[in-house]
């Protein structure tokens, strides 16, 4: 089996280069895989499946075409696109994954997360996350008029950009103890996540056993993808073209 993992593309109309690179990846490396996993922040901001958006239509058609070619596509929410719902998934042939999810690769359990919930030192963000992601808030947000969601989404982005500017780098990274805790809880020796925009493969130990934490990169000046097959895990950077 061949797997392809990506995250943090932040697709938006203002970055046609990222959209082009993603469509190219679908037509080349993704068709050669058995499964494509998108681990959150696929879109820069997602205001709801009912928001008319030509970019979303283009992306969902391309994903659907890939799924018709026999590639299984899995999508996890990120902190920017947690309002992606069943309608988008149906249109694009994706299966929505819970965060966290454990899958099996080469007979081993592998833990998949977006990564934001691992940043436990970022207490302000976690408070916001708890509020935004509780079922009642989600229900209310989904039923707000689109214009109101646009306004609130913009306000939240501006506020977030302003506040992250003053946060120390350690605060916006994952907390080491939290990583060990989730890996121990799920009994996995591999964790794959995105969110922090700090692509790397970290070798760690849980209870004396070697484990690895693979951080996917964000697509900005380059693209990033993790390929996995029976030969192992290969995290690579590529030109957007």
Q: Exposed, middle or buried by CB within 10 Å (0-12, 13-18, 19+), for 175?
A: middle
Which one, 142 or 186, has the nearer CB to ligand LP5? 142
Q: Does 83 bind ligand LP5 (CB under 6 A)?
A: yes
Q: How far apart are CA 77 and CA 71, in angstroms?
A: 20
Which one, 80 or 193, has the nearer CB to ligand LP5? 80
Which one, 84 or 226, has the nearer CB to ligand LP5? 84
Q: Does 88 bind ligand LP5 (CB under 6 A)?
A: no
Which one, 62 or 156, has the nearer CB to ligand LP5? 156
Contact 236, 224 (CB under 8 A): yes
The least CB distance from residue 103 to ligand LP5, in Å, is 24
Measured in whole angstroms, the distance separating CA 71 from the mean position of its chain's CA atoms is 18
Q: Please list every residue from 93 through 132 that binds ligand LP5, using CB under 6 A.
A: 116, 119, 122, 124-125, 128
- Residue from 9, 35, 39, 141 touching ligand LP5 (CB under 6 A): that is 141
Q: How far apart are CA 63 and CA 101, in angstroms?
A: 21
Q: Does 84 bind ligand LP5 (CB under 6 A)?
A: no
- Residue from 19, 79, 92, 190 touching ligand LP5 (CB under 6 A): that is 79
Residue 238 belongs to what H/E stretch? strand 232-238
> Could you tell me which residues come within 8 angstroms of residue 84 by beta carbon, excluding any fewer than 6 positions away?
42, 43, 46, 49, 75, 77, 96
Q: How far apart are CA 199 and CA 203, in angstroms?
A: 13
Binding characters for ligand LP5, 191-230, by CB under 6 A (x = yes): ----------------------------------------
Residue 74 belongs to what H/E stretch? strand 72-76
Q: φ and ψ at 130, to 5 degrees?
A: -60, -40
Q: Does 153 bind ligand LP5 (CB under 6 A)?
A: yes
Number of residues this chain uses to bind ligand LP5 (CB under 6 A): 24
**Annotated binding site for substrate: which residue ranges?**
79-80, 122, 160, 164, 167, 195
The least CB distance from residue 205 to ligand LP5, in Å, is 25
């Amino acid at each position: 089996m061949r797997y392809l993992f990506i995250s943090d593309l932040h697709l938006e109309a203002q970055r046609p280069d990222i959209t082009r690179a993603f469509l190219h990846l679908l037509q080349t490396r993704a068709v050669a895989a058995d499964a494509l996993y998108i681990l959150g922040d696929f879109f820069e901001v997602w205001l709801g499946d009912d928001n008319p958006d030509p970019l979303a239509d283009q992306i969902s058609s391309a994903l659907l075409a890939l799924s018709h070619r026999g590639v299984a596509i899995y999508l996890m929410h990120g902190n920017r696109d947690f309002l992606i719902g069943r309608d988008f998934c149906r249109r694009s042939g994706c299966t929505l994954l819970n965060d966290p999810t454990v899958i099996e690769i080469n007979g081993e359990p592998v833990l998949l997360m977006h990564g934001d919930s691992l940043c436990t030192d970022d207490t302000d963000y976690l408070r916001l996350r708890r509020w935004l992601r509780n079922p009642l808030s989600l229900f209310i947000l989904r039923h707000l008029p689109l214009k109101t969601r646009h306004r609130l989404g913009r306000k939240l982005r501006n506020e977030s950009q302003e506040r992250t500017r003053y946060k120390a780098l350690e605060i916006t990274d994952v907390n080491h103890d939290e990583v060990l805790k989730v890996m121990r809880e799920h009994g996995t020796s591999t964790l794959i996540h995105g969110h922090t925009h700090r692509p790397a493969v970290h070798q760690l130990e849980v209870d004396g056993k070697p484990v690895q934490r693979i951080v996917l990169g964000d697509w900005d000046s380059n693209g990033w993808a993790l390929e996995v097959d029976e030969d192992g895990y290969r995290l690579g950077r590529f030109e957007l073209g």
